Amino acid sequence: MSKKPKILRPHEFTEQDKKYLLHLKNSINQLTSFSNLIMGIKDVDSIHLHSSPEYAKIVGLGNSNDIIGRSDFDMPCDGTAQFAQQYITEDRSIIESANISTSLTTLNIHNYADGLKTRVFEKKAIYNPESNAILGIFYSGNSVEVSEFLNIIPNYHLKFGEIDSLTVTSRNKLPLNSYEEEICYLLIMNWELKQIAQFMNTYRPTKIVRTSDTIRKKKDYICNKLDVIPNSIPNLVEFLIGIGFHKTIPESFFARIIGSKIIRQR
The residue ranges of DSSP E strands in the chain, in sequence order, are 6-7, 38-42, 48-51, 103-112, 115-128, 133-144, 167-169, 248-250, 259-265
pLDDT for residue 188: 85
Instruction: Label residue 145 by pLDDT band (50, 70, 90).
Output: low
Query: Which range (19-28, 86-95, 172-181) has the least confidence?
Result: 172-181
pLDDT for residue 257: 56
Q: CA separation (Å) from 31 to 156, 170, 255?
A: 36, 37, 32
Averaged pLDDT for residues 156-184: 62
Instruction: Label residue 13 by pLDDT band (50, 70, 90).
Output: very high
**Global confidence as pTM:** 0.64
pLDDT for residue 157: 41
**77: pLDDT strictly greater than 70:** yes
For residue 68, what are the contacts with CB-CB under 8 A and spacing of at least 6?
48, 49, 50
Which pLDDT tens digit goes with each residue over 29-62? Answer: 999 988 899 999 999 999 999 999 999 999 999 9
Contact (CB, 8 A) for 149 and 22: no
When the pLDDT of each residue in the chain is averaged and rounded to a whole number, the result is: 84
Which residue ranges make up each domain of the chain? 6-144, 148-256
Closest CA to 147 of 163, 170, 169: 163
Which pLDDT tens digit goes with each residue over 251-265? Answer: 666 655 566 666 566
User: Domain 6-144 is in which class?
Assistant: alpha beta
**151: pLDDT strictly greater than 70:** no
Contact (CB, 8 A) for 72 and 220: no
Query: Which range (89-93, 116-120, 146-150, 243-247) has the least confidence?
Result: 146-150
Burial 109-148 (b: 16+ CB within 10 A, else e): bbebbeeebbbbbebbbbbbeebebbbbbbbbbeebebbe
Contact (CB, 8 A) for 75 and 51: no
Which pLDDT tens digit goes with each residue over 206-242? Answer: 899 999 999 999 999 999 999 998 889 999 999 988 8
pLDDT for residue 53: 96
Max avg pLDDT among 113-117, 144-148, 180-184, 209-213: 209-213
- One-letter amino acid at 164 equals D
